Amino acid sequence: MVLVMTDTTREDIPEFGSEFREKLTDLFRWRRDVRRFRNDPLTDDVLDYLLQLASLAPSVGNSQPWRFVKVEDAFRRKSMRDIFEAANLDALNDYAGEHAKLYAQLKLDGLDQAPVQLAAFVDKETVLGRGLGRKTMPETLHYSVVAAINILWLAARAHGVGVGWVSIINPEQVIELLDVPKDWALVAYLCVGYPQEEHIDPELERAGWQERVDMKKFVFKR
């Protein structure tokens, strides 16, 4: 893979033409939540490059509250699978009949295969940004971390790398397992690696769990 390194000296306002816009739409359409990964490792330089791009995300008050933890320890990775399995079994018990049958067949994580696992935290007490913009809506600090994850996700897909967001986990257990500062809260646990397959439709749509709905139904006027 050839990384396109950022030329930080280039200050010309870029032009985004129709060709780029069309490809960008393709990127949005083909970004998937990946749960099936190939065995090939993801090199540190690729991951670090994607994280650099993620740092270009917007953050409330420019607080940059994102904290990423690469989870490499074998025991911790095994424990993450246990944490997922327990939460997934508990979630399965909320469904009955056909829904339970379908839920049990879904593959909802890539923890067994993903070469890279990345926990994304928010530093709730960061002094960066001096609290600007988050007095009445403190959750914007968490949203800033989500923004970084979204940039990472799109950049990854453009480099042929898949990202899967695992949320069926008890966040307090993850915090304890990863031994992070007490002011951090878990935002996401990400699996990262090269995908086995590429799809234009979400896996949950393909599996018959939930179809997409026309955005027009979600836009209102006041």
Under rule CB under 8 A, which residues in 115-134 are in contact with its own copies? Answer: 119, 128-134
Q: Which of 97, 98, 179, 182 binds its own copies (CB under 8 A)?
A: 179
Distance of CA 33 to the CA centre of its chain: 8
- Closest approach, Cβ 33 to its own copies, in A, equals 6
> Is 112 within 8 Å of 196 (Cβ atoms)?
no
Q: Which of 41, 43, 45, 58 binds its own copies (CB under 8 A)?
A: 58
Enter the tokens of residue 95: 């469904």
Please report whether residue 146 would count as binding its own copies according to CB under 8 A. yes
Q: Which of 39, 97, 98, 220 binds its own copies (CB under 8 A)?
A: 220
Tell which residue, 179, 153, 80, 72, has the closest CA to residue 115: 72
Number of residues that bind its own copies (CB under 8 A): 109
Please report whether residue 74 would count as binding its own copies according to CB under 8 A. no
Q: Which of 36, 38, 52, 124 binds its own copies (CB under 8 A)?
A: 52
Q: Which of 125, 139, 176, 183 binds its own copies (CB under 8 A)?
A: 139
Residues 106, 108, 112, 115, Cα dihedral to 10°: 130
CA dist 187 and 215 (Å) reads 26
Q: Which of 61, 110, 162, 193 binds its own copies (CB under 8 A)?
A: 61
Burial-class residue 83 by CB neighbours within 10 Å (0-12, 13-18, 19+): buried
H or E element that contains 154: helix 140-158
Q: Residues 10 to 49: which contact its own copies by CB under 8 A?
A: 11, 13-14, 16, 18, 20-31, 33, 48
Please report whether residue 183 would count as binding its own copies according to CB under 8 A. no
Amino acid letter for position 217: K
- Closest approach, Cβ 39 to its own copies, in A, equals 21
Enter the tokens of residue 98: 């056909």
> Is 153 within 8 Å of 120 (Cβ atoms)?
no
- Closest approach, Cβ 69 to its own copies, in A, equals 5
Q: Which of 71, 114, 190, 192 binds its own copies (CB under 8 A)?
A: 71
